[in-house]
Amino acid sequence: MKLLIIFPSQIRGGAEEYALTIGKSAVKKGLKVDAAFPQTQDTESLIKDFQQTGITYHNLDIAPVEGKRFKLFREHIPHVSRSLSLLKKVQPDVVHLVVPWPHWCFDTLITCAMLKVPTVVVFQLFTSHFSYSKPRLKLYQWAYSRKQKWIAISDNNRAFVSQSFQLPKEEFAIIYNGSKIDSNFINYSPEEMINLRHEVRQEIGIDTDDIILLTVGRLEFQKGYQDLVKVIKPVIKEFPQVKFIWVGEGTKRDDLVKQIQDDDISNNVILLGYRKDVPRLLKASDLFVFPTYFEGGQSFVISEAMAHNLPIVTSDASGIPEIIDNKVHGLLFSQGDKKELKEAILWGLKNPEAMKRMAINAAQRVKDFSEEKMVDQTIEIITNMTH
């Protein structure tokens, strides 16, 4: 069976890592896999990772264009043409279309429907009810009827997909995002933990007894860093040994650096940029802070933090409450509420034993949301599409 994975992203983020995970797993299960997405500076490392797995890469520029004028000629016709050319060249048995945003991939989805190619569509970021014009809505519904299976990544996500496309909720499968857990770090001995914590702190240039509050995510408005900046000063006033460590890159980096400098908190905030050793950092940290405004589901990195027994403070955005019960698996605060965010962080720092108990509960809970389960359920749907 030949699988073609398509997505429109010009960056490397959670949805793109998901596509890579499915591709790698499909290869291991004996499928021939091709992948197609835009070639940009930010996707170069992603292209290499696909190719190193034995996946054939195709440059497919289907990223949305800016502005509404002449969109038919600037976006829709070119995207249909490029998608049609790719499908005829690759001749896939099944297409797996990864949709990062509700309005993206429309032309490719319709092209797959025109050719009646079996297509599995996963909607990664459906954060609310979206409205479509009547003609566009009818085209989506028509495409869905032509050998397509649509997947949501949480119950919250499924409700929005159902409402937006005016299709029965029960028809969409739910496959929660699951993170691969690095087993090298799961069962560390107390001595190994001490050594790792010391090693990581030495690497990033902080004191051995500093408290690390880790945040992982793209430096974009969505992830809520602008709120986190505003609560750092009162937190370090009570806990001066706290260091906020941020992993990720994005368009808001310069703005955030300016805010950090203006608030005179540069000594307590370290931006590490993109890192491949997130499991090490999770294991060496004291608290995971995730002030996101919205996610497609529960977020890959939250699953990783849970599996590594790292206590969690997170917003209640999107599908996160579906896997984290407040004060059972971690602390939830109202999305966008800076006061609640500050209070949750301070409570977590003042009650480390309670946070550790929650982390133990979370490590058990996350077993229901493993990468293995996500992959198996997705590959099963993909392989069944040709039957």
Q: Which residues of the chain have pLDDT under 50?
A: none
Q: Where exactly are the structural domains of the chain?
A: 2-178+371-384, 183-368
pLDDT reported for residue 11: 87
pLDDT reported for residue 298: 65
Distance CA 368, CA 133 (A): 38
Distance CA 214, CA 290 (A): 8
DSSP β-bridge partners for residue 344? none
Distance CA 30, CA 46 (A): 21
Give domain 2-178+371-384's CATH architecture. 3-Layer(aba) Sandwich (3.40)
Distance CA 193, CA 310 (A): 12
Reported residue count of the chain is 387
* Cβ-contact 269, 174 below 8 angstroms: no
* CATH code 3.40.50.2000 for 183-368: yes
Q: Which two tokens stand for residue 22?
A: 């499915």
Which SS3 state, helix, strand or coil, does residue 149 take?
strand
* Cβ-contact 63, 93 below 8 angstroms: no
pLDDT reported for residue 179: 73
Q: Residues 188-207: pLDDT tens digits? A: 788 999 999 999 999 999 99
Where b means 16+ CB within 10 Å and e means fewer, 58-69 reads: bebebbeeeeee
pLDDT reported for residue 299: 77
Q: Do domains 2-178+371-384 and 183-368 have the same CATH topology?
A: yes
Q: Tell me phi and psi for residue 201, to 5 degrees.
A: -65, -40
* Cβ-contact 246, 224 below 8 angstroms: no
Mention every residue, 6+ apart, whose C-beta is less than 8 A from residue 38. 8, 9, 10, 59, 60, 61, 62, 63
Kindly tell me the sign of the dihedral angle through the C-alpha atoms of 110, 108, 17, 94: positive
- For the entire predicted model, the pTM comes to 0.77
Q: Tell me phi and psi for residue 268, to 5 degrees.
A: -115, 5
* DSSP per-residue letters across 41-69: GGGHHHHHHHHHTTPEEEE---PPPSSST
Q: Residues 12-65: pLDDT tens digits? A: 888 899 999 999 999 999 999 999 999 999 999 999 999 999 999 999 999 999
The number of beta carbons lying within 10 Å of the beta carbon of residue 221 is 14
Distance CA 34, CA 246 (A): 33
Q: Which two tokens stand for residue 48?
A: 């290499």
Residue of 311, 301, 298, 243 lying closest to 272 (CA atoms): 243
pLDDT reported for residue 296: 63
Biggest CA–CA distance in the chain, Å, is 63
Strands 269-273, 242-247: pairing is parallel
